Amino acid sequence: MNKKVKGFLYSLPFIVSSVLPSQKANAQIDFITPKTWHAPQPNDMEKPNTIYFGFQPIDLGVGMGYSKKITPNFGTYISFSRGKYRDPLSLNQDEFKQYFIDHYKISLGTNIHSRKDRSNSSGFISLGASYGIFNTENYPKENMDEKVLKKWSFEFGAGITLGDKLTTGFLFDPIKGESNIYLGIPF
């Protein structure tokens, strides 16, 4: 086995344990196994729902979503957003010759939550699928980027719930190069 790969595999438990919040003040390394990854706590399911508002910088899109924690470790989310892509090839032209594409997106995915730490905060990672609808009626066909206009794509991301007051995070679509930054309120 390659030395770099072997070194990475040995350091993986340290990397993972540094990302996940720990229960101990001066934490030693918690090796994560299926049995010890998360011991449910009484307050883990206290506020299982979150409504959030998102912003997509690439197309100045806005949206909102809802997530639900089903178990202390697992949850789902759904979101809807609307934006307008600006054709990068038309940016040097005057305002009337620039082309915009109306963009609607719906996403559905899962969240995997870590255990809560002493400050009642927890992290999570997300993975989901998205479906895009584009209005390209008045758009010149020679300028279309097929990668951006694919209907189906996927997204991944991470976030943190700070106490029971605020959730923040990001989602990223690697195929389209599209990101979504969001803030939410647990309830």
Q: What is the pLDDT of residue 10?
A: 58
> Residue 115 has what DSSP assignment?
P
Q: What is the pLDDT of residue 114?
A: 86
What percentage of the chain has pLDDT greater than the value 70? 63
Instruction: Please check the confidence at residue 134 and state whether its pLDDT lies above 90.
Output: no
Hey, what are 134's tokens?
A: 């584009």
Q: What is the pLDDT of residue 29?
A: 44
Instruction: Please check the confidence at residue 150 and state whether its pLDDT lies above 90.
Output: no
Confidence (pTM) = 0.68
Instruction: Report the mean per-residue pLDDT for the chain.
Output: 77
Q: Which CATH class is domain 46-186?
A: mainly beta
Helices (H), the chain: 3-19
Q: Where are the domains of the chain?
A: 46-186
Hey, what are 20's tokens?
A: 């996940």
* More confident site: 92 or 145: 145
Q: What residues have CB less than 8 Å from 129, skipping those under 6 apart?
A: 107, 108, 109, 152, 153, 154, 155
